[in-house]
Amino acid sequence: MTAADPLARLGPKTQAWLAELGVYSHAQLVELGAVEAFVQLKARGHTVARTLLWALHGCVLGCRGSELDAELRESLWQAARARPTPPPPLDWAEAERWMALALALAHEAAAAGEVPVGALVVKDGQVIGRGFNQPIGRHDPSAHAEMLALRQAAATLGNYRLDGCSLYVTLEPCPMCAGAIQHARIARLVFGAHDGKTGAAGSVVNLFAEPRLNHHTAVYPGVRAAEAGALLSDFFRARRARSPA
């Protein structure tokens, strides 16, 4: 890329993001289009603002985003909002491998007498946060597996925004955890078993499909669902057997 290339105006971070889309030149950005580039960057978990959309379109036109008139900026923003956000790609074999680690964490919860749910946060192929259910042991109603994994991941990165991260959890998140996942800007949620009582990813409600929310996490259900469901069923069956009639 040369200094004369309009793409150089976007700055190194945006150029790196565009490289993930295979866009290395002004001509490639023109071919993809500013709106499509913006939507795809959002789908990959990057925190994007409308100013980036305007900058991208300005680059297409050979000017700065601040030079676009208000009517054009608004039309671009409405077009981006109307465009369905494509889910980021999921490698199913890799997802099953990460879910196996989440299931191991769920077994730790069961051994501690907690509802067996495990979760982990992954970024760039590395686990940066882990958690298993501990509301009983911690005397904390918010100590769900997802919440603990998110807290550890945020501490690892030094940022509550977990851009580009994936969360793997053995059970469909509840509304509390779903809200935290969205707030953390998690790019992908992969879960095992559905939860017909409190599931907030489609079983009872679907907070991830609410169009009025600012961030939209891509959701992939059913990874190693049979194992996750069996672990929960066995736990509750054993607990009922120990309870007095």
**Sheet containing 118-123: which strands, arranged edge to edge?**
126-132, 118-123, 166-171, 188-193, 218-220
Chain CA centroid to CA 202, Å: 16
Determine the Cα–Cα distance for residues 191 and 200; give it in Å rounded to an integer. 12
- 162: Cβ contacts below 8 Å, ≥ 6 apart: 121, 123, 150, 153, 154, 184, 185, 186
Q: Is 193 helix (H, G, I), strand (E, B) or coil?
A: strand
Q: Which helix (H) or strand (E) holds 220?
A: strand 218-220
Would you tell me how many other CB atoms lie within 10 Å of the CB of residue 77? 15
Positions marked active-site: 146
174 is in an annotated binding site: yes
Helices (H) and strands (E) in the chain, counts: 10, 5
- Taking the alpha carbons at both ends of the chain, their separation in whole angstroms is 74
- Please calculate the CA angle 69-71-77 and round it to the nearest 5 degrees: 105
Q: Show binding-site residues for Zn(2+).
A: 144, 174, 177
